[in-house]
Structure 1
Amino acid sequence: MKTILLLAFAVLVSSTAVENRDKKLLGELIDELVREVKSFLNIVTIAIFLAELEMNGCKGEFFCQAEHELKDKVSGRSGAKFEHFRNDKKLMRNLNAYNKRHLKTCKPADKDQEILIHEFLEKLLTCARSAYRQPK
């Protein structure tokens, strides 16, 4: 009986640790996205277009596709404005870590419709907030 109780407790504690890790990743991602949305809001000369992603309830594939879009079209650019999109920076590291925990691969985003980077980041921020609020 003690063994069963210990096993049940271990499962409960380990699942709580996973939820806390997700919350921490999403919280840090939200903080980084808020800063980037504000910074791109003031700049109208940057016309970077990214694929408009289907939000579909902000499931894991959305975050995976968002990471690929940012890597392909933004992270390689030079200049202070794009510094936070480098793969070794907090925003991209957290997005990558969240994707590794939830989805291994995803299909490429449909490139038919494109939106400005500012709108793209706002949608990503909306989904991150939504995922943060969802109970696990």
Structure 2
Amino acid sequence: MMKTILLLAVAVFVSSTPVTTSVKPHTDKTPARHTDKALLGELVDELIVAIKDFPKVLPKEKLIFLKDLQMNGLDHKEREVLFCQVEQELKTKVSGLSDAIFDHFRTDKKLMRNLNMYNKYHVKTCKLTDEKQDKIPLHDFLKNLLASVRNAYSQVN
């Protein structure tokens, strides 16, 4: 009799626990247009913060110069390649620097993660830029990039 009551109690307990599955819903690898707009909007916000936090004048030993990438008057495909080149420039020349003023450019921070995410969904191949290209200070590079991202943001529906 005790065994029967115990078995019934276990049966009731097991039947009342929720069943969860490990099946995840299918998600498409290409983001919807509203996701593009959200990513670009976050990039705008992060660039504004990075520009405000980054000093306009740096000591000579902390000056960073990046390739002067053509960021104005680009169509959609050219802008995708540009954003990939921007990510490469920031990763190779700024992300690894350990000073607090370069904190926004670490690969684990929101600015670089969003840039990487945008590129992951849009760029098939990324042309490397010419090493002989003119260089500009990081602060100017960021201002040019902000203008280009704002332009891209305004064009996404």
Q: TM-score range by the shorter chain?
A: 0.7 to 0.9
- 1:39 CA displacement: 2.0
Distance, in Å, in 1 between the alignment partners of 2:124 and 2:90 is: 17
TM-aligned CA distance change 1:135 to 1:83, over 3 Å: closer
Q: What is the match of residue 46 of structure 2?
A: 32
Q: What is the match of residue 103 of structure 1?
A: 123
Give the alignment of 1:8-19 within 5 angstroms. Answer: 18-19=32-33
Q: What is the match of residue 74 of structure 1?
A: 94
Q: What is the match of residue 49 of structure 1?
A: 65
- Normalised by the length of structure 1, the TM-score is 0.81
Relative to its length, the structure with more helix (as a share) is 1
State which structure, 1 or 2, has the greater radius of gyration over its C-alpha atoms.
Answer: 2
Query: Structure 2: which 5+ runs fail to align?
Result: 1-27
Q: What is the match of residue 128 of structure 1?
A: 149
Q: Which aligned segments of 4 or more residues in structure 1 are displaced greater than 4 angstroms? A: none
Q: Deviations over 1:61-115 (max 9, x none)?
A: 1100000000000000002111111111100000001111111321112232100
Distance, in Å, in 2 between the alignment partners of 1:117 and 1:34 is: 14
1:62 aligns with 2:78: no
Distance, in Å, in 2 between the alignment partners of 1:135 and 1:75 is: 28
Query: Structure 1: which 5+ runs fail to align?
Result: 1-13
Mean Cα deviation higher: 77-86 or 36-45: 36-45
Identity of aligned residues (%): 51
**Among 107, 124, 138, which residue is 1:87 paired with?**
107
Distance, in Å, in 2 between the alignment partners of 1:110 and 1:34 is: 28
Q: What is the match of residue 20 of structure 1?
A: 34
- 1:50 CA displacement: 0.4
| SS of alignment partner, residue 89 of structure 2 | helix
- 1:59 CA displacement: 1.4
- Normalised by the length of structure 2, the TM-score is 0.71
Amino acid at match of 1:77: L
